[in-house]
């Protein structure tokens, strides 16, 4: 794993909370979202590529459809039925999900953070977040879950992170967000949070720390990385 930190000066962090995005951070359901949209797009004859799927990361179901349509007008009734159909495909794929579907390092990092007294939450735009966490068997590990039902304004607005951090009694400067999506990194920065960007869809210029995945990330490496920024 390669870890890079952004070169800016900031105040010394006292970290009380970790907030995890779900799809693409805790488990690889970002791939299922992609495959479900791809199936719908193929059936409707709409061009759809991995690049567009990356742009959909972190976006609400409605905003993802907007990306897919790329300006093509559709009636509201059609939009509703397409979102429902995509979700049906996605739900079918979720049946494959088991506790083995956690991404590398996630279970270890969660238990290490808990032992260090850090409060844990999931903050995901997905309306299926509880179902996914339940299938992964990790729902009891989190003190709070913010999902696609929690706030009105989706990412890149900071509302979901602020709402979820509030459930943990943490202010943004005491909380680290783990995100694989541009919209999520932007939301975290807009809320004044520390951000760990994960994977190739986000850049190290935007996130305070950037990692390829969570396999080698520890509580110490995060706090150390943020302290370097505070010097």
CA distance 30 to 17: 24
Indicate whether 61 belongs to the interface with ligand G6P (CB under 6 A).
yes
Interface residue with ligand G6P, options 27, 55, 64, 110 (CB under 6 A): 64
- Alpha helices (H) along 13-115: 29-44, 50-56, 61-69, 76-94, 106-115
Question: Between 15 and 44, how does the x/- string for binding to ligand G6P read (CB under 6 A)?
Answer: --------x------x--x-----------
21 among known catalytic residues: yes
The residue range among 22-30, 86-94, 164-172, 186-194 that interacts with Mg ion, by the rule CB under 5 A, is 22-30
Question: Closest distance between ligand G6P and the C-beta of residue 114, in Å?
Answer: 24
Select 3 or 35, whichever has its Cβ closest to ligand G6P: 35
Which residues, 6 or more positions from 230, have their beta carbon under 8 angstroms from its beta carbon?
9, 10, 11, 12, 13
Q: Residue 163 corresponds to which tokens in the numbers above?
A: 């709402």
Question: Closest distance between Mg ion and the C-beta of residue 33, in Å?
Answer: 9
Indicate whether 124 belongs to the interface with ligand G6P (CB under 6 A).
yes
Query: Within a 13 Å sphere around the CA of 26, how many CA atoms are in the beta-carbon half?
Result: 29
* Identified catalytic residue from 7, 23, 147, 216: 23
Question: Closest distance between ligand G6P and the C-beta of residue 57, in Å?
Answer: 5
Q: How far is CA 212 from the centre of its chain?
A: 14
Task: Spell out the long-range contacts of 204-208 with Cβ–Cβ below 8 A and sequence spacing 24 or more.
Answer: 204/4, 204/6, 205/6, 206/6, 206/182, 207/6, 207/179, 208/5, 208/6, 208/8, 208/10
The residue range among 53-61, 67-75, 199-207, 219-227 that interacts with ligand G6P, by the rule CB under 6 A, is 53-61
Q: Residue 151 corresponds to which tokens in the numbers above?
A: 């706030």
Select 21 or 186, whichever has its Cβ closest to Mg ion: 21
Interface residue with ligand G6P, options 126, 150, 164, 174 (CB under 6 A): 126
User: Are the C-beta atoms of 33 and 52 separated by less than 8 Å?
Assistant: no
Interface residue with ligand G6P, options 25, 32, 48, 58 (CB under 6 A): 58
**Total residues in contact with ligand G6P, by rule CB under 6 A:** 18
7 among known catalytic residues: no
User: Which residues are the active-site residues?
Assistant: 21, 23
């Amino acid at each position: 794993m390669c870890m890079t930190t952004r070169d800016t000066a900031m105040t010394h962090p006292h970290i009380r909370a970790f907030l995890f995005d779900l799809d693409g951070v805790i488990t690889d359901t970002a791939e299922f979202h992609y495959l479900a949209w791809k199936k719908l797009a193929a059936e409707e004859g709409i061009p759809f590529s991995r690049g567009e799927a990356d742009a959909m990361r972190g976006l609400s179901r409605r905003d993802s459809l907007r990306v897919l349509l790329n300006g093509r007008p559709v009636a509201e009734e059609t939009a509703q039925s397409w979102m429902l159909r995509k979700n049906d495909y996605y739900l079918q794929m979720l049946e494959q999900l088991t506790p083995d579907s956690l991404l590398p390092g996630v279970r270890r990092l969660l238990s290490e953070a808990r032992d260090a007294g850090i409060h844990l939450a999931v903050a995901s735009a997905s309306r299926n977040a509880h179902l996914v966490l339940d299938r992964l068997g990790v729902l009891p590990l989190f003190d709070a879950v913010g999902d696609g039902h929690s706030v009105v304004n989706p990412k890149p607005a900071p509302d979901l992170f602020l709402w979820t951090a509030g459930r943990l009694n943490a202010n943004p400067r005491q909380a680290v967000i783990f995100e694989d999506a541009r919209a999520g990194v932007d939301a975290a920065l807009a809320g004044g949070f520390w951000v760990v960007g994960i994977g190739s869809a986000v850049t190290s210029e935007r996130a305070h720390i950037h990692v390829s995945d969570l396999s080698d990330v520890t509580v110490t490496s995060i706090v150390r990385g943020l302290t370097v920024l505070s010097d």
